[in-house]
Each structure stands twice: as C-alpha cells, then as structure tokens.
Structure 1
Amino acid sequence: MSLTDQEVCIVDDDASVRTAVSSLVRSLGLRARLFASAEEFLAAGCATDLVISDLQMPGMSGLELLELLRGRDDGVPFIVISAFLQDGAPGRAAQAGASCVLGKPFRADALVGCIERALAGPGVPDARDHTHV
C-alpha cells in the first residue's frame, strides 16, 4: 500500500509531540500539517486524509474536535493520543469514531500501525481494533 501524497493533520498543544509525530509521519512518505489547537485546525479549513489529535488541550479537546467532525458527517480517520486515558476517555473516543487510541508515551511502531490501518480503506475499525499502549 502506498501512502505517498496523503496528508496527515497533527493537532497537539505540545510542540515537541507535534514535531516528533510529524517526523514519523514524514518518514512514511506522508505530508504533515501541524496545528497547536483544535481551533487552529478548524480555522485552516483544510481537507485531510487523517487527523492525529491530543485528547486534552486548552480550549476545544480532541474528543470535542472528533465529535464536531462526526457531527458534520466528516468521516476522516481520526487517531487519538493522550497522556490522560483515565475516566473512560478511550471508550468515549472509540464511541465517537476514533480509529485508534494511543497513550503517551507510545511506541513509534504502534502509531505507524494505527496510521496504516486508518489509511487502509473506508470505514472505521471496530472497538476491538483499538490499541491502548
């Protein structure tokens, strides 16, 4: 499967995470666009092939962003990453349509697997396919 020319939007308030995820995404031959907040991502109005978003951010959370996109009938694959996976957050993200949920810190190969599955084809994998690291 060729991932070349697909674009991934990375939404995280932590610049070091944005940079690290961007480097990994680009190593797969994908284009990366970086956003420091959900609001910044929405203001850009860009069409994308995949969103990778932090769960907890100032302002709009990653879960709120996912729910907003799904409410707009936007089926773009969405990967959630977070250091805060307590209080049922992974389950809520899965119910909202997240393709994958990863805890920070995560292994690079775990994120690569999530990216490859998310971009593999139409539809969102069911909850049994969610990865919790």
Structure 2
Amino acid sequence: MSFSDQEVCVVDDDASVRTAVGSLVRSLGLRARLFDSAEAFLAAGTATDLVISDLQMPGMSGLDLLELLRGRADRVPFIVITGFLQDGVARRAEGAGAACLLGKPFQADALVGCIERALAAS
C-alpha cells in the first residue's frame, strides 16, 4: 500500500522506542513526527493522519490522550502500544476507538499491518 504524503505522530516517553517506531514509519514512505509525551503532542496542535502512542507515560497516558481526542470529536486513527497488556486495557482501548493495540515487544510487521489497516480505514 502507498500512503505518501501522510503523517504519523509517534508519542512515547522511551526515546529508543520512539526512534525505532519513527524509523519504521519513515521506511514505509510516511512522514513521522516524534513526541516524548501526550502533553507535547497536544501542545504542538498538529493535525495528523495517524497517532501511535505508548500506553503508560508520565503525565497523561496514551489511553487518556485517545479519550481526550475522541471527546473533541477527533477521529484520527490511533494505535496503542504497551508493555502492560491486560484485559481491562484492551477493552478500554477498543471502547475508545483504538484501531489497534499491540503489546511490547512486538514484531515490526505487526505494527506495519496495524498502520496499513488504520490508514486504509481512515
């Protein structure tokens, strides 16, 4: 699939994960903007085609960010990644409209599949 000219925002407090996911996004021909927190993403006020966010971060969590965006009627596709995959988290993410929920560590092709599905559905 080709998604040229589309932008993905990666929100993760772990610099190594943020950089790796950003590199993967760029390898797909997409533009990537990287943020170290949900608050930094919100402060940037950026319009984007997809958000990939860690679940647990200092301050606002990835699920809180997703719920805030949905509360604003922002339907941007949203992928949640987490090292803490539990049933309650999965239900909450699904209920808030996450396009995909991936547990860390995840395979690159699993994330690529989530990205492709999320962008194709938007």
- Relative to the length of structure 2, the TM-score reads 0.98
Q: Distance in 2 between matches of 1:30 and 1:8?
A: 7
Equivalent position of 2:94 in the other structure = 94
Which blocks of at least 5 consecutive residues in structure 1 are unaligned? 123-133
| 1:106 equivalent in alignment to 2:73 | no
Which blocks of at least 5 consecutive residues in structure 2 are unaligned? none
Give the ranges of 4+ consecutive aligned residues of structure 1 lying more than 4 Å apart after TM superposition: none
- Relative to the length of structure 1, the TM-score reads 0.90
Please state how far the C-alpha of 1:2 moved relative to its aligned partner.
Answer: 1.7
Equivalent position of 1:4 in the other structure = 4
Q: Distance in 1 between matches of 2:91 and 2:16?
A: 26
Please state how far the C-alpha of 1:90 moved relative to its aligned partner.
Answer: 1.2
Equivalent position of 1:25 in the other structure = 25
Structure with higher helix content: 2
Please state how far the C-alpha of 1:86 moved relative to its aligned partner.
Answer: 2.0
* Residues 7-56 of structure 1, C-alpha deviations (whole Å, 9 max, x = no match): 00000000000000001000000000000000000000000000000000
Q: Distance in 1 between matches of 2:58 and 2:43?
A: 16
Equivalent position of 2:50 in the other structure = 50
Equivalent position of 1:71 in the other structure = 71
- Give % identity: 82
SS at match of 2:121: coil
